[in-house]
Amino acid sequence: MKTLSLTLVAAVICSMPALVLAADNVAQNPAYVVDGSSSNVKNASGECWRTGEWTPALATAPCDAVIAPVAVVAAPAPMAATPVPEPKAAPAPAPAPVVVLVPVKQKISFSGDALFAFDKSVLRPESRELLDGLARQLTGTTSDSITVTGNTDRIGSSKYNQKLSEQRAVAVKDYLVSKNVQATSIVARGVGETEPVTQLADCKGNKANAKLIACLQPDRRVDVEMTGTKTVPAAK
């Protein structure tokens, strides 16, 4: 009997470290039963024995699959609605320019010698530049009437001078028409030597000579007189 008692006591003493280790392991993870070597105790099917404290949160490998914590993804903040720009109002149309009609009346005199050779009624080539300038002046003007008057000096007969003055007036009129000068009425007339601008006392004699011809030069002319209206911007 004494021998048996000693054997039991020794067996109890020898098993105490294993129990302590098992108790320590259980304290570490109380969800599983372990043996003295801290190995999980398994059943015949190879499954780990769980304790009554086992919960999914205490699951560990290799006994159970570890349940990973579910990440909570915060819902994205609602995006602010992009404001839709209001359509821009169409710019107001520019006010129509205010114009007024101004009465126009002008008279331009061209030297006959500048337009024609002496005693001729055909326009010189260089005279076209003078008449082109006149045509530009009449641009934008509504002409009610344009009168072209031819004049001569007193040298020669009155009949001859009358015809020459008419031919020169017609030559100027035809050129203005070719430059699209519009008028309700364009009149070409000749007055011969009847409307001189020189005085007899200043240019003496009737015989053609260089001195008299030069003196009477102002009488050899073509006058262009226009009446009508011109469109101009109104003063602000």
Residue range 133-150: mean pLDDT, rounded = 87
Q: What is the per-residue burial (b if ≥16 Cβ within 10 Å, else e) of 18-46? A: eeeebeebbeebebbbbeeeeebeeeeee
Stronger pLDDT, 234 or 48, i.e. the higher one: 48
**What is the dotted CATH code of the domain comprising 99-196+203-233?**
3.30.1330.60
pLDDT value at residue 6 = 37
pLDDT value at residue 164 = 96
Q: How confident is the model at residue 20 (pLDDT cuts 50, 70, 90)?
A: very low
- Closest of 128, 116, 104, 54 to residue 228, by C-alpha: 104
pLDDT value at residue 85 = 75
> Is a pLDDT exceeding 80 seen at residue 228?
yes
Instruction: Give the pLDDT confidence of 92-112 residue by residue, as tens digits.
Output: 787 777 667 778 788 899 999
CA–CA separation, 173 and 188 (whole Å): 6
pLDDT value at residue 57 = 73
Element (H, E) at 150: strand 141-150
Q: Which region among 11-15, 33-37, 223-227 has the lowest average model confidence (pLDDT)? A: 11-15
| Per-domain boundaries in the chain | 8-58, 99-196+203-233
Indicate the pTM of the whole model: 0.55
217 Cβ partners below 8 Å, 6+ apart?
Answer: 111, 112, 113, 153
> Is a pLDDT exceeding 90 seen at residue 166?
yes
Stronger pLDDT, 136 or 169, i.e. the higher one: 169
Local structure of 221: helix, strand or coil: strand
pLDDT value at residue 11 = 39
